[in-house]
Amino acid sequence: MTHRMSRRGPVLGVGLAAGVLIPCLAAASPAVAAAAPDVVCTSASSALATKLDKDITAAVAARKGSVAVGLYDRVTKTTCTLKASSAYDSASTVKVTVLAALLWDAKKHDRYLTAQETTLAQAMITQSDNAATSTLWKQLGLTKIKGFLAAAGMTQTEPGADNYWGLTQETVTDEQKLLRLLTAKNTVLSDNSRAYVLRLMNQVTSSQRWGTPYGAPAAVTVHVKNGWLQRATHGWRVHSLGTFDGGGHDYMITVLTQDDSTMSYGITTIQDVAKVIHEDLA
């Protein structure tokens, strides 16, 4: 059996990791009912924490499958989590980690990215190019990738074996750590590196700007990276990472899902969550 592969992500009916096709069952696994969600929010404003807790809980209550959520807002000192330590296949969201690891390693060796690395990085983030990701993943190797994860404190992330980068195990907790690194001064990534990653995430092609940006205030600058992957078990994984700043705002959202019956179903779940978060923070 042969399958088509898009350079910008998996074709419907095909599972993808590290640019390698994984045949899927003819029908996706049936969605399973989610366990009763346990959203936990804390904030300098108890009223805001209560409202976010209620609204996020309501947004996921009727959704089938598994949903994990992370929110951190620097302005109101607000944090919300749901299943923050549950592990998911990363799909293309790991591409942000790959670029961060590349920049971390370049900083260690006091060098700039090469012209080829810059071309690959731009394709990997703005177009979600899988071939570019595979090239950079192999160039880095597991030692450097794990070195970055350790430096970033991303202890719950397990890189995919045998170059299957899309099967990297990630959690909301670690993805939020990564987004925090990208959006504030730190010793792991230089200011120039952080700005570079965010600039590429701001330039993601329009067809891939769904997910966490849904319902964002007009005044904020949006940075996003999404991932989507169908496999024979657990149906579709659909994820979205987003950071939002400007107009008095500075916050980040991670939503990871699996057991989605279709990619569209997963996108809707993410956007239901994002919409209430943006509304409550605005």
pLDDT in tens, 170-198: 999 999 999 999 999 999 999 999 999 99
Q: What is the number of helices (H) and of strands (E) in the chain?
A: 7, 10
Q: Is the pTM of this model over 0.85?
A: yes
Question: Is 57 inside any structural domain?
Answer: yes
Question: Is 9 inside any structural domain?
Answer: no
Question: Is 6 inside any structural domain?
Answer: no
Question: Is 7 inside any structural domain?
Answer: no
Question: Is 110 inside any structural domain?
Answer: yes
Domain count along the chain = 1
Question: Is 1 inside any structural domain?
Answer: no
272 Cβ neighbours under 8 A, 6+ residues apart = 59, 60, 63
Which CATH number covers residue 135? 3.40.710.10
CA-nearest of 265, 263, 262 to 60 is 265
Question: Is 3 inside any structural domain?
Answer: no
* pLDDT on residue 37: 57
> Between the CA atoms of 71, 270, 5 and 125, what dihedral angle is there, to the nearest 10 degrees?
-30
Domain extent for 95: 14-281
* pLDDT on residue 166: 98
pLDDT in tens, 198-209: 999 999 999 999
Residue 24 region by backbone torsions, left for phi larger than 0, else alpha for psi between -120 and 50, else beta = beta
* pLDDT on residue 19: 33
Question: Is 5 inside any structural domain?
Answer: no
Which parts of the chain register pLDDT below 70? 1-37
Q: For residue 260, give Cα distances in angstroms to 10, 181, 219.
A: 15, 30, 32
* pLDDT on residue 38: 92
Residue 259 region by backbone torsions, left for phi larger than 0, else alpha for psi between -120 and 50, else beta = left
